[in-house]
Structure 1
């Protein structure tokens, strides 16, 4: 089994399905360039058959991106697949990602097709896609809610037709980690030709479990590709967050034993760019890319970090693209953090008594203001000097 995890980014396709997150061709190109700088393995550039705009965006990205595989989504029909192939023609390396629903609910209510019809259409679609490229991904939509025997039958059939990646989506975010990992593991064990394909996962965050489900499927299920998006952007509650799975695998290599090709120092820049283009702000406490992800406000934490960063930081801020971590001075801050900030600001303190007096004034101000600015800290230290000179406080 491969010791490398493939990162498949779907910010430009599934991410754009977030209501209000539509992007122009030029905006998609900007993000694709950043994804390539970040060394993402696969960029799902869009859904070529969905609109002329998407077709042109995929073609533009395929013309420019050279290092990453460029992919287009396509339903399991001839028109979609040929349209995807046409858009991907300029690509150095291309992938067609075709899909059809396999759950009883979707087949009956949405497709109005029998299982046998779905099986035949899935095989035919992969066969058509292989006529254009040898890199074909197949997804059984709503896979996590599909009948296991039928899912095995379909996947075995599409691998026989030449599918090289099998993606098993948790389309509606219904799965839980243990069950989802067991599903991927059982599929790989039961399907006779499973070793001929890379197994992939695509999880949605409706129950807040997208990252957990994806990582469980990798660690315990044997999946070797994760489909994800910058900032967790995507349909409804969003997709698996790229920055979270990449840093989890990298930080806990002792658990996962896998390498990722991604240049993690480009993560924050990618997050900012996607946020700027879509208008979707990143919550401050968001893991890895949130403004507070490497910020410390508690005096106990600040004291620990100032002595040794790994007391409260399991990653380095610089490793994901931040310039540094942050010590935020407020009412919870202690004397050591206050003293450190004075030194950083070049403020000279002549005695411990002067430092103590300035710290008392700082705490009084911090009780009124959530965050005390550097200008206010300098002013507080100067107040003490004036008081010593005049014999009375200001």
Structure 2
């Protein structure tokens, strides 16, 4: 919690501090066709640190020699962010995390085991009691080496509510100080997620003594919405990736969560360390290294996020940008707002563009110019400056 002083009310108020946990280097690399080099992972980690990420999940050290070396390299490279490695509930996995992160200035470990019925039966072949015993054994083992142990009950949102409580409390009793609630297959929705947290708050005695985190997948397109719902219901750490990359449909896009907390600070009343002006730079780096173009209509960082073609929208933007923009491109380090001219554009936008190009055009002149513009716009996607010059030359010749 942050403590702020309200001058008008003369009160000390508590504001939530939301930690950002980035798993672009681990879960993000599980995107089909993505394989970061160690140098790329180090560069990404440094940029994530500049962006303000609190925790960087640098990899899964036991998975391969390359992953081990990458976690090791990131541990040497960053100085402010906390570095973590992923470990199954296996002592060999934990040992690999210990060795890979030993040079980190700040470190933790992230231990997980599945808890849902389908995972227990089909994957683990373990009973509830066996899963609880494994949690107790491996979280306590990890706690020998790390001051901060994060535990995840994999597939938490499909786990029986009473068993999820047992698993979470067992991890806390064994030494976990961070509990991550993963929506591993993007199954839940904001209402159900709120109910899940309500159940944990009511039945886990140590709920307020640990950090609750969430790791949401986007299989049904609700990862960001679920992440934000968790903040309303007690979570103070959000896990995700840049550009929402990751396994299957990907993870919660951290840049979207950060932008939502900024724009709707009045609602969420939550602060964080994210430097929004580094957002576009961070997104572009991931896009470049993954060779995955950011969709033009992607929220916050897409090429069209700050572009307006509709005549009604363009007219509003020219009169007051806040009519159609709740976030300015400058805030997230993007280029300026654009008003591309097309068949839906109005005469106000066309006139303004012509004036910017140096033409002395009045509203009266537009009665002649605008029909010619519309005819051209019907034959092309975007009317360029070159097209406008041709239009103005034609108008000049006709007038002469």
TM-score, normalised via structure 1 length: 0.95
Query: 1:364-379 alignment to 2 at 5 Å?
Result: 364-379=375-390
For residues 1-394 of structure 1, the aligned pairs below 5 Å read 3-219=16-232, 221-349=233-361, 352-389=363-400
Shift in Å at residue 354 of structure 1? 3.8
Partners of 1:103 and 1:361 in 2: CA distance: 64
Question: What is the CA–CA distance in structure 2 between the aligned matches of 1:335 and 1:250, rounded to whole Å?
Answer: 34
Aligned partner of residue 327 in structure 1, secondary structure:
coil
Q: Deviations over 1:176-201 (max 9, x none)?
A: 11011110221122111222211111
Instruction: Compute the displacement of 1:257 (Å).
Output: 0.6
Query: Secondary structure in 1 aligned to 2:390?
Result: helix
Mapped to 2, the partners of 1:5 and 1:255 lie a distance apart of 14
| Distance in 1 (alpha carbons) for counterparts of 2:101 and 2:354 | 57
Secondary structure at the residue paired with 1:227?
strand
Contact 2:287 2:293 in 1 (8 A): yes
Deviation at 1:356, TM superposition (A): 3.2
Q: Distance in 1 between matches of 2:201 and 2:68?
A: 34
Aligned length: 387
Separation in 1 of the partners of 2:364 and 2:312? Answer: 22
Greater shift after overlay, 352-361 or 209-218? 352-361
CA RMSD, Structure 1 to Structure 2 (Å): 1.3
1:316-356 alpha-carbon deviations (Å, 9 max, x no partner): 1111111211101001101110111112222333x555443
Deviation at 1:114, TM superposition (A): 1.6
Distance 1:356 1:136, change over 3 A: same
TM-superposition CA deviations, 1:180-224 (whole Å, max 9, x none): 1110221122111222211111111111111111111111x2111
Deviation at 1:79, TM superposition (A): 0.5
- Say whether the 8 Å CA contact 1:250–1:260 is kept in structure 2: no
Q: What CA distance in whole angstroms lies between the structure 1 residues aligned with 2:185 and 2:77?
A: 33
SS class of match (1:3): strand
**Partner of 1:138: helix, strand, or coil?**
strand
Q: Secondary structure at the match of 1:97?
A: strand
Q: Which runs of 5+ in 2 are unaligned?
A: 2-14
- The question of whether the paired residues in 1 share the 8 Å contact of 2:115 and 2:156 is answered with yes
Residue 236 of structure 1 aligns to a residue whose secondary structure is: coil
CA contact (8 A) 2:153 2:180 kept: yes
TM-score by length of 2: 0.94
In structure 1, what is the equivalent of residue 6 of structure 2?
none
List gaps (5 residues or longer) in structure 1: 390-394
What is the rounded CA distance, in whole Å, between the counterparts of 2:115 and 2:97 in structure 1?
22
For 1:346 and 1:10, locate their aligned partners in 2 and report how far apart those are by CA, in whole Å.
49
1:392 corresponds to: none
